[in-house]
Amino acid sequence: MARVHNFSAGPAALPLPVLEEIQQELVDYRGCGMSVLEMSHRSQAYAQIIDDAEATLRRIIGIPDTYRVLFLQGGATLQFAGIPLNLMRRGRAGYVVSGHFAKLAWQEAARYGDARMLATSEDTGFDRIPDLSRIREQARDLDYVYICQNNTIFGTMFHALPDTGDTPLVADVSSCFLSMPLDIERYGLVYAGAQKNAGPAGVTVVIVREDLIGEGPALECCPTYMSYRRQADAKSMMNTPNTFGIYVCGKVFRWVEQQGGLKAMAQTNSEKARILYDVLDASEVFRPFAEPASRSIANVTFRCATPELDAAFIEGARGRGIEGVKAHRLTGGMRASIYNAVSLDGVKALAAYMQDFEESRR
């Protein structure tokens, strides 16, 4: 078996023990005589799978009963609409535009109400988290303040949450979900596309404070599927959910728990990030993309002096069993996504390759 070091931004590496367990259970799930792929979502066996996934997630994050956990479809992108449709009760919300996906979310929200851009770092190419010192004052009388906590493409992250006073904070945590502890009571809602740290593509986890979803969505035009109220009441089974995806997520949650939980994840991820940033800071060939104070522990972005050198680096990586380091077209260059399932050894292998590449260019 030849598994590569996979630094893809998502879909991304999954823990090997999870894949092996799925393989083992695939044809006959625990004596059911069928696979989870073939099983009714209304069956007893499946009820146990989804209940266990939610319970494990509640344990590892520490989610109180005042929050609901939803397993939805449509990717993180559908929540760009779902959030204003459900939460814009007074018709106005604030957005921190710190990257591509935050900008898309802001533009989508503007279709449903007054979506105000409170701060942006677009003028510096999204290389940092913008200054948020005025947020508390700006947040007054808004339905929510929206952030994208980790900007997957640019490799920046919020190292402190903005103080929004009584206004609920809503966060897209897609690329830092389960990478580190999540103080859920600081938020009104968080959501994450699963395909980075939590499982396969096709599942979006939404965690929302029950009082915010009230009797139903803020806007009449909200599609029935997108009503957080309806989805919460139906325990994410208003229609057929992504049964297999949720099953895989449940296994990843258990794996995270067995590894020591979110604190342990954060420790290893910080160590992995430090190894790569140390190489970048000492380098004369590579240039880190993100401002030091805004650096992500999940996506490390960098480039060489020329696109030709970037291409040579990416091409050479293959021969070392390193995949997925080509960055998004918006930044160019390289990106190493070092999610939970990317091992410390994998990161060391990348760091060694970077150093060898540097030597060869001197």
Nearer to ligand PMP, 32 or 225 (CB): 225
Nearer to ligand PMP, 52 or 225 (CB): 225
Interacting residues of 52 by C-beta distance below 8 A, sequence separation 6+: 250
Binding site annotation covers 101? Answer: yes
Nearer to ligand PMP, 175 or 242 (CB): 175
Binding site annotation covers 156? Answer: no
130 preceded by cis ω (within 30°)? no
Return the structure tokens found at 105: 């979310």
Looking at residue 248, its amino acid is: V
Binding site annotation covers 76? Answer: yes
Q: Can you give the three-state secondary structure of 313-332, one letter per residue?
A: HHHHHHCCCEECCECCCCCC
Binding site annotation covers 243? Answer: no
Rounded CA-CA distance 180/254 in Å is: 15
Rounded CA-CA distance 165/91 in Å is: 19
Sign of the C-alpha dihedral, residues 220, 98, 123, 300? negative
Nearer to ligand PMP, 279 or 338 (CB): 338
Min. distance of Cβ 209 from ligand PMP in angstroms? 21
Nearer to ligand PMP, 39 or 295 (CB): 295
Min. distance of Cβ 319 from ligand PMP in angstroms? 27
Min. distance of Cβ 142 from ligand PMP in angstroms? 21
Min. distance of Cβ 77 from ligand PMP in angstroms? 3
Residue number with the smallest Cβ distance to ligand PMP: 75
Nearer to ligand PMP, 35 or 120 (CB): 120
Backbone angles phi, psi at 308, to 5 degrees: -65, -40
Nearer to ligand PMP, 86 or 152 (CB): 152
Q: Is 300 exposed, middle or buried, given 0-12, 13-18 or 19+ CB atoms closer than 10 A?
A: buried
Min. distance of Cβ 76 from ligand PMP in angstroms? 3
Nearer to ligand PMP, 17 or 75 (CB): 75
Q: In DSSP terms, which residues pair with 5 in a beta bridge? A: 322
Nearer to ligand PMP, 9 or 354 (CB): 9
Min. distance of Cβ 79 from ligand PMP in angstroms? 8
Min. distance of Cβ 78 from ligand PMP in angstroms? 7
How much is the CA Rg of the chain, to the nearest whole Å? 21
Identify which of 273, 290, 303, 328 has the alpha carbon closest to the alpha carbon of residue 121: 290
Min. distance of Cβ 163 from ligand PMP in angstroms? 22
User: Contact residues for ligand PMP (CB under 6 A)?
Assistant: 10, 75-77, 101, 148, 152, 172, 174-175, 193
Min. distance of Cβ 202 from ligand PMP in angstroms? 9
Residue 130 DSSP class: P
Cβ–Cβ under 8 Å, residues 171 and 48 = no
**Which pairs with CB-CB distance under 8 Å and at least 24 residues apart come from 119-122?**
120/96, 121/97, 121/156, 122/97
Question: Residue 5 belongs to what H/E stretch?
Answer: strand 5-6
**Pairing of the two strands 204-209 and 189-193:** antiparallel
Binding site annotation covers 152? Answer: yes
Cβ–Cβ under 8 Å, residues 326 and 320 = no
Q: Which residues are annotated as a binding site for pyridoxal 5'-phosphate?
A: 76-77, 101, 152, 172, 195, 239-240
